[in-house]
Amino acid sequence: MANPPFIKAQTREKSIYSRIFLKILIGAMPIFLSACSSLGSKPTQAQIQTNAARVHADALQLSGRITVRYMQNEKEQIITGGFEWQHDGENVRVNLISPLGQTLARIEKNPQGASLQRADQPVQIASELDGLLQTNLGWSLPVTGMRDWLQGFVTAANGATQAVPAQNNALAEADGWQLRYVVWNYDDTPAHPKRIDLRRDTAELGEINIKILIDQWKAL
């Protein structure tokens, strides 16, 4: 038996809507794929070329957030907070800040030695920074290397300073640390690191992981 006229009309209407929907879907596909590809955050050729313009800053001021994970007495220790960094030549100053905005520790390093001042405690002075931090904080921040690493540079075995490619998830090794430049800030010229993950295996603290997020950046 033949279909009634109203069923034929509904069938033709559905067919028309289906063709219209298919055209819209095909037309929107390039936009959808473009949005998906942007999630990969791959640098453009112009962004990669900013490597040529990158210069190792002798004076730098920045701030951000830091997370440190390490083992102590067979228990995982996690330290989170903010940090302020400034270096001018060989003089380095680092402030470690609690999540509530209080300065927990001030670290200073210069050619004469190193010092550490914690809240409500006298200044501790030593000739070598790593041992000073290890003794007083229970973990050590690689301040000497970070002077280069925060800028996206590492020191090669021959002593030469080399630029890490300004590409997300670029890997490097320096002073026994594994560095992963997870995200770069391409909004500034030249590009500079936005997030850096540091990892090192130690006999005293097991695996140390440091995550650094840079919010403010200023070459002096």
CATH class label, 61-219: mainly beta
Q: Name the residue type at position 206.
A: G
Where do runs of H (alpha helix) occur along 39-58?
A: 45-48
Classify 83 in phi/psi space as left (phi over 0), alpha (psi -120 to 50) or beta. beta
Mean pLDDT of the 153-173 span: 90
Q: Which two tokens mark 26?
A: 């095909």
Q: What is the pLDDT of residue 49?
A: 54
Cross-strand bridge partners of residue 68: 79, 210
Digit-coded pLDDT (tens) for 175-215: 999 999 999 998 877 789 999 999 999 887 789 999 999 99
Residue 12 has pLDDT above 80, yes or no: no
Cα 205-211-212 angle, rounded to 5 deg = 130
Q: Where are the domains of the chain?
A: 1-35, 61-219
Digit-coded pLDDT (tens) for 106-130: 999 999 999 999 988 999 999 999 8
Question: Distance between CA atoms of 60 and 24, rounded to whole angstroms?
Answer: 51
Mean pLDDT of the 57-66 span: 95
Residue 136 has pLDDT above 90, yes or no: no
Record the pTM.
0.76
